[in-house]
Structure 1
Amino acid sequence: MDKRSKIALYVISAVILLMMIAEVTKPKPLNWRDSYSAADKIPLGCYVLFNELKTFSDGDVLENTESIFLYLNNKEISDKKQSLFIINGYVGLTEQDADALMDFVDDGNSVFLSSKTLYGNLADTLNLNIKMDYSGLLKEPANNEFTSPSQEESNRLFEDVIENAYITSVDTLNTTILGTMSIEDEDESHPNFIKTKFGENGGAFYIHTNPYAFTNYHILNGNEDYTATVLSYLPKQQIIWDNYYKSGRKIITSPLRYILASPALKWAFYISMFSLILFVIFKGKRTQRIIPVVEKLENTTVEFTQTIGELYYQHGDFTNIISKKIQYFLEFVRTKYFLDTNNLNASFIEKLALKSANTKEDSKAIVDYLLYLKSKTFHTETELVELNKKIETFTKNNF
């Protein structure tokens, strides 16, 4: 990797690091999602209320994380009266849930339900109808007041973060209106907090249509007295907090979703993946694949020549062998001394003696013997041996 590539890599890494630092340290935007969950500290969560319910509960606050039908049918039977808290923007109860809830109240227990809407079997049984105020795009500030004059100090004007809902019909025989709501600057008021007796054992439903009043936002912004007064109407019983019918109920469907749901685990996962990618890139470049060992090709020229020579020798073809050796010697002279071997005359002999390490007499002797052999058409083994000796003697000083 050259210097320029290294600089570019360092710059890119620095930019990525700065982006990660900026992402981690930047202030988180305020989450205005409807939650009503006991674990959420966002404005529309119910963390504050859940932790303050021990003041109104006779014993520890229990928590329900499954449907009402399953929870109440699996709950151990106890003589101790209890109050079930269901707070959410919309409560969707199945027929089985509604029946289990009414059986629970019929046994002398209480249910506090705060929602902007309520439909189904429970609403029909209680002869209850809730209506939303859709008079304008912007929700008008609304007065939430108690019908009891002694609670006048707890009345509050909800100016923001509110959706105005109210009750339009009730069971007049068994229902007591505990609170009302009215749009600011309007005289007409509507019930928004009621108590409906149910069964023969002193059980009751407490219906409230402003669930926003129990969120962190309003409790921490001056409306805590209103919330406390609403809860004071409930009997002092052990409270069961429903954490199932919640808009902010956390549903984990996979390990990856669980990791990404936690900021710390999410960034640990991102850093691990980024480090793994860098490792693969640099490790792949810096580690060279194993180079296989290639055996050096053997020079079999000598063995081949020896085999051919032995073949000629075994057949007694001395003339052919002498011809090949003469050609080989003359080729040696041409490549070694750069001499023309077409005319083996006196001039050639002088040049050969001059360029080789032999005397003029030795040079003349081998040239004369070559000319002698070339003039014959038939050769003997003795002549082949003599030629080989002369060539070896002549060339021994040149290797």
Structure 2
Amino acid sequence: MDKRSKIALYAIGAVILLLMIAEVAKPKPLNWRDSYSAADKIPLGCYVLYNELETFSDGDVLENTESLYLYLKTIDSLEAKKSLFIINGYVSLTEQDANAIIDFVDHGNTVFLSSKGLYGILRDTLNLNITLDYTNFYKKPSYNSFTSPNQSENKTLYKDVIENAYITSLDTLNTTVLGTMMDEDESESFPNFIKTKFGEKGGSFYIHTNPYAFTNYHLLNENENYAATVLSYLPKQQIIWDNYNKSGKKVITSPLRYILTNPALKWAFYISLFSLILFVIFKGKRTQRIIPVVEKLENSTVEFTQTIGELYYQHGDYSNIIAKKIQYFLEFIRTKYFLNTTNLNSSFIEKLALKSSNSKEDAKAIVDYLLYLKSKTVHSESELIELNKKIEKFTKNNL
């Protein structure tokens, strides 16, 4: 690659790097998606509410992150009563979850549900219908107030970030209307906060149709009194926060998805990938010298040993060969059986027979022969052959 090509490639790389830095450094657009998650600090998350719930809870706030059917099975109905909080844009529960909630309230517990829509078995059981007013004042400013004269000062005007929903049918026999909503002119009012008694043990459903009132946006924009008043109607019980049935529920199906949804990790991944591509481009252009083939060293130990043995044998130095075979055999015993070979006495013979799986007679025979050979200064070829036979016979089980 010539000098001009390298300069051009460096320039392209610098431009790409600057674009990446600009993308990372630019201000993030405000995220207005419906979340209602306890972990989200975006306008329509419920981070603020979740961290203030201890004020209304009798004990630590519990958090559910799985199916309500599975979670509520772990709740002991004989323990102190609890309040389950379900806040989301729309609540559409499975049949199992709905039945679990109904059974939960039937045991005397409380469910607070704030949603613009309710569907399925739970809606049918409560004989309830929630409507979004698309034709009149769907997203227009509206008042949310309470039916109790004592709470009249907590009437709140929601000017923006609102979708007006209200209750159009309810079970009048078991239901008490606690709050209403009305247009800015206060010409019409509709129920938007009710209490429905359920079961024989004092359980209740609290249904509210303005989940936006509990989001970070409104709680941090001087509308917190309304939300606090709504929660004050609930009994003082330990609260269970449902963080599973949420529009903003975190869903991660793969490590790569997790990386790409985290801005810092995403750009680290992109920069690493770009660097790898540059490395391949530049490294691929280089010419590598031929690597010489280095032959593996041969193991000539066996040939060397055989040659040395033949030299001893040709010169008739049987005594030297016998001394080395005895020395090697004793080293074998020390290494294999961990025996001290200094004194080749009766105790040594018994231990050797026991550890080598040979009979005591065989062990005594070879030790006696070793002592016999060590007592001589001159040896014959027949003694060398006999020693080799005895060693091979003794070690046959260990070779």
- When normalised by structure 1's length, the TM-score is 0.71
Is residue 262 of structure 2 the alignment partner of residue 256 of structure 1?
no
**Residues 332-355 of structure 1, C-alpha deviations (whole Å, 9 max, x = no match):** xxxxxxxxxxxxxxxxxxxxxxxx
Instruction: Give the CA deviation at 1:209.
Output: 0.3
Are the equivalent residues in 1 in contact too, given 2:69–2:97 (CA < 8 A)? yes
Instruction: Give the CA deviation at 1:238.
Output: 0.5
Are the equivalent residues in 1 in contact too, given 2:166–2:190 (CA < 8 A)? yes
Q: Distance in 1 between matches of 2:217 and 2:278?
A: 45
**Residues 234-258 of structure 1, C-alpha deviations (whole Å, 9 max, x = no match):** 1111100001110000111111111
**In 2 relative to 1, CA 217–11 (structure 1 residues): closer, same or farther, beyond 3 Å?**
same
User: What is the DSSP-based 3-state SS (H/G/I as helix, E as strand, rest coil) of the residue aligned with 2:24?
Assistant: helix
Give unmatched runs, 5+ long, in structure 1. Answer: 294-399
In structure 1, the residue matched to 2:70 is 70
User: What is the DSSP-based 3-state SS (H/G/I as helix, E as strand, rest coil) of the residue aligned with 1:32?
Assistant: coil
User: What is the DSSP-based 3-state SS (H/G/I as helix, E as strand, rest coil) of the residue aligned with 2:73?
Assistant: helix
Letter paired with 1:18? L
In structure 2, the residue matched to 1:306 is none
Q: Distance in 1 between matches of 2:263 and 2:205?
A: 40
- Give runs of aligned pairs for residues 299-310 of structure 1, distance below 5 A: none
Instruction: Give the CA deviation at 1:78.
Output: 4.4
In structure 2, the residue matched to 1:243 is 243
In structure 2, the residue matched to 1:339 is none
User: What is the DSSP-based 3-state SS (H/G/I as helix, E as strand, rest coil) of the residue aligned with 1:194?
Assistant: strand
**Residues 259-304 of structure 1, C-alpha deviations (whole Å, 9 max, x = no match):** 11211211221121111111111111124363899xxxxxxxxxxx
**Residues 88-108 of structure 1, C-alpha deviations (whole Å, 9 max, x = no match):** 011111222111101101111
Is residue 205 of structure 2 the alignment partner of residue 227 of structure 1?
no
Instruction: Give the CA deviation at 1:26.
Output: 0.3
Aligned-CA RMSD value = 1.7
Letter paired with 1:101? I
Q: Distance in 1 between matches of 2:3 and 2:284?
A: 19
**Residues 146-198 of structure 1, C-alpha deviations (whole Å, 9 max, x = no match):** 11111122111111111110001111111111100011114110000001111
In structure 1, the residue matched to 2:333 is none
In structure 2, the residue matched to 1:42 is 42
Letter paired with 1:173? L
In structure 1, the residue matched to 2:155 is 155
In structure 2, the residue matched to 1:110 is 110
In structure 2, the residue matched to 1:143 is 143
Is residue 167 of structure 2 the alignment partner of residue 167 of structure 1?
yes
In structure 1, the residue matched to 2:207 is 207
**Which deviates further from its counterpart, 278-287 or 245-254?**
278-287
Aligned residues: 293
Q: Distance in 1 between matches of 2:137 and 2:290?
A: 72
User: What is the DSSP-based 3-state SS (H/G/I as helix, E as strand, rest coil) of the residue aligned with 1:290?
Assistant: coil
Q: Distance in 1 between matches of 2:138 and 2:188?
A: 19
Q: Distance in 2 between matches of 1:31 and 1:39?
A: 14
**In 2 relative to 1, CA 99–138 (structure 1 residues): closer, same or farther, beyond 3 Å?**
closer
Percent identity for Structure 1 against Structure 2: 79
- Give runs of aligned pairs for residues 266-305 of structure 1, distance below 5 A: 266-288=266-288, 290=290
**In 2 relative to 1, CA 22–154 (structure 1 residues): closer, same or farther, beyond 3 Å?**
same
User: What is the DSSP-based 3-state SS (H/G/I as helix, E as strand, rest coil) of the residue aligned with 1:75?
Assistant: coil
Larger Rg: 1
In structure 1, the residue matched to 2:177 is 177
Q: Distance in 2 between matches of 1:78 and 1:283?
A: 71
Q: Distance in 1 between matches of 2:125 and 2:188?
A: 27
Q: Distance in 2 between matches of 1:179 and 1:246?
A: 24
Q: Distance in 2 between matches of 1:136 and 1:88?
A: 23
Q: Distance in 2 between matches of 1:77 and 1:125?
A: 21
- Give runs of aligned pairs for residues 323-338 of structure 1, distance below 5 A: none
Are the equivalent residues in 1 in contact too, given 2:132–2:138 (CA < 8 A)? no
Letter paired with 1:197? K
Q: Distance in 1 between matches of 2:19 and 2:196?
A: 57
In structure 2, the residue matched to 1:61 is 61
User: What is the DSSP-based 3-state SS (H/G/I as helix, E as strand, rest coil) of the residue aligned with 2:153?
Assistant: helix
In structure 2, the residue matched to 1:386 is none
In structure 2, the residue matched to 1:193 is 193
Give unmatched runs, 5+ long, in structure 2. Answer: 294-399
Letter paired with 2:117? T
Q: Distance in 1 between matches of 2:8 and 2:56?
A: 64
Q: Distance in 1 between matches of 2:204 and 2:72?
A: 16
Q: Distance in 2 between matches of 1:196 and 1:108?
A: 13
Q: Distance in 2 between matches of 1:100 and 1:176?
A: 24
Instruction: Give the CA deviation at 1:137.
Output: 8.5
In structure 2, the residue matched to 1:20 is 20
Letter paired with 1:21? I
Q: Distance in 1 between matches of 2:75 and 2:262?
A: 32
Q: Distance in 2 between matches of 1:170 and 1:258?
A: 44
Instruction: Give the CA deviation at 1:87.
Output: 0.3
